[in-house]
Structure 1
């Protein structure tokens, strides 16, 4: 499996403070926060049990390793936590932010994505998963069209690789969040 770099090079003081807060969370609270990052419970449990992390990079590496270890059921659970591209979960700012590239797509592209998403789900049995952050609708459509041609085993590994990217971005945002009691 190929891994990507952490979302930012080096940790900011806010990331360090965020990591300290994350490390200090009670076990149940940490698991809850992590299942908002990735719906796979085994992934969240592995990261929860691996605390404390000395650096954000150590947390990212643990995330990558836990994703690599997910069995088929765990990978299915992780993928099930993601809405189809072009249809973010209503009221979910994370999926809306991550799929921002589809927001400005014309109705024809949106309809094409819906049709291709359905074909993908029928062929592979799971949602098309791509790290959509920074991609526009045409880039997502082109990736979906190309990946529809893959064999199922390869596509599951593509989904796992995309989860690595998504989880790193989400963990980076988690660490960058201001403390709950700090002024916004």
Structure 2
């Protein structure tokens, strides 16, 4: 570790069980192991690059494992501040339609609709869901991989910048 590492990044670099910290970011055990194996990280950009590489290498079962931990858009996990913060752009006006269309999406694709909700409005997420619901499975799988990668980047950046211990 270099002296310029943030407290959160230093904590990750020095953790006896880095997977415990990384599971807050992504539920894929393969992704967690790959990112943990790259320690120590000198900076956030190096950490994000390792995350991107690990995400690109995930097989379909690993993607399923990662997706299983994500609640439907419009219904954050009760008591989960991260889920609530990430979905804060969803207003009451969109919530019902998002939930209805998410059920149709799940029937078509076998998993919840996944999108990096941070910084997006409910209307933007609803438009993306309507656009993506008709995608074929291989196309949607790659979009999901990209969205998971974006989510992981947001969460890793927060983890690395966190000043207090989790």
RMSD between superposed Cα atoms in Å: 1.4
Pick one of 49, 61, 66 that aligns with 2:37. Answer: 49
Alignment partner of 1:19 is 2:14 = no
| Count of paired positions | 163
Q: Is residue 84 of structure 1 aligned with residue 72 of structure 2?
A: yes
Asked if 1:95 corresponds to 2:83, the answer is: yes
Matched, 1:73 2:58: no
Paired with 2:30 and 2:102, the residues of 1 have a C-alpha distance of: 27
Q: 1:110: which partner in 2? A: 95
1:123 aligned to 2:108? yes
Maintained 8 Å contact 2:9/2:44: yes
- TM-score in terms of structure 2 length: 0.94
Q: Does 1:62 align with 2:50?
A: yes
Alignment partner of 2:71: what SS? coil
Report the more deviating stretch, 50-59 or 69-78. 50-59
Q: What is the CA–CA distance in structure 2 between the aligned matches of 1:161 and 1:180, rounded to whole Å?
A: 29
What's the CA shift string for 1:75-101, capped at 9, x where partnerless? 000111100000000000000000001
Conservation of the 8 A alpha-carbon contact between 2:31 and 2:54: yes
2:127 counterpart of 1:142: yes
Which residue is 1:39 aligned to?
Answer: 27
Q: What TM-score comes out, normalization by structure 1 length?
A: 0.85
SS at match of 1:37: coil
Unpaired runs of at least 5, structure 2: none
**In structure 1, distance between residues paired with 2:111 and 2:89:** 21
User: Tell me, what secondary structure is at the counterpart of 2:114?
Assistant: coil
Contact 2:116/2:151 (CA < 8 Å) preserved in 1?
Answer: yes
Aligned partners of 1:113, 1:56: CA distance in 2, in Å?
Answer: 33
